[in-house]
Amino acid sequence: MQTEGNRLCRLLTRTLLTAVLATTALVSHAQQTPNDYYRAEFVILERIIDPSAVNERMATRQVDAPVDTSETLYSVAAGGAASSTLKLVNRNQLHLGNAANRLERSGHYRVLMSTGWYQAFPPDYKGQPLRVEIGDWLEQAGQRAIEGHITIDRQRYLHVGVHLNHWQEGKIAVPTTGAEAESSAMNTNEPENTDNLTDETGIAAMATSPELELQPEVPLELLTWIRETRRMRSEEIHFLDSPTIGVLVFFKKIEATP
């Protein structure tokens, strides 16, 4: 009888312990899912386009200095290592993951960042700017081609502000081809004819385009930018873009656990 009593005691202890652990897990889950809890998702992409085809002509635009912030959404160092101050989730867990895959498969876009995270955004939330540094590495300037920041605030609705600059290495046109064509025409064995020579030289000069060479004293040249603030609704996909870059934004409301 003593043995049966010990077995019964151990069974009751295990049952009680299981119940306590289950209750603790429920409480913990409820604490991790508060009110105003969302999954924020961002995809930043680059259009595959020849920079010379961009008609923005923004090289002379004045750009503010990078914001001073301790928060980073996504930053890729010179060696290729990515970092963030947020606890990011995997791309395959995102609602925008399929959209990012389709854009890449189209051959017209290059996805530079596709990520998200969970966070509470209560009313009157004022978020710190989230630093972004992605794209090609510009050796002359020692930075990424696309840099800037994203802000998330909440009033009655969530508001996302996107401030991204798309840079290219500074270049200068060197019109050497026209001079070479003229020199070639002057050295031909044809009879001297000033009118014909002038016409041929002009045609040769117009038919050739100046070559572009890197300009080290101007390491950066602004290609395009995004300056836009958009009001968000839960489970709506928003697209903010410029001729060369685009940003997909999605917020999923996570219901609090009763």
Question: What does pLDDT average to over the chain?
Answer: 80
**Structure confidence at residue 162 (pLDDT):** 98
Overall average pLDDT of the 104-113 stretch: 95
- Return the domain boundaries, the chain: 36-172+212-254, 176-209
Q: In this predicted model, which residue has the larger pLDDT, 236 or 52? A: 236
Q: How confident is the model at residue 14 (pLDDT cuts 50, 70, 90)?
A: low
Q: For the whole model, what pTM was predicted?
A: 0.72
pLDDT digits (tens, 9 = 90+) for 25-82: 444 444 567 789 999 999 999 999 988 888 888 888 889 989 999 999 999 999 999 9
Q: How many CB atoms lie within 10 A of CB 79?
A: 6
Pick from 237, 231, 108, 60: nearest CA to 162: 231
Whether the per-residue pLDDT at 193 is higher than 50: the answer is no
Report pLDDT for 176. Answer: 54
Mean pLDDT of 212-238: 85
pLDDT tens per residue across span 177-189: 555 545 444 454 4
Residue 215 in this model has a pLDDT that exceeds 90: no
Which one-letter amino acid corresponds to residue 15? T
Q: For position 61, what pLDDT does the model report? A: 87
- Pair 34, 120: CB distance under 8 Å: yes
| Confidence at residue 28, expressed as pLDDT on a 0 to 100 scale | 43
- As a whole-number percent, the residues of the chain with pLDDT over 90 amount to 55
Nearest CA to 164 out of 151, 149, 152, 153 is that of 149
Share of the chain residues as helix, strand and coil, in percent rounded to the nearest 5: 30, 40, 35
Q: Is the pLDDT of residue 105 over 60?
A: yes
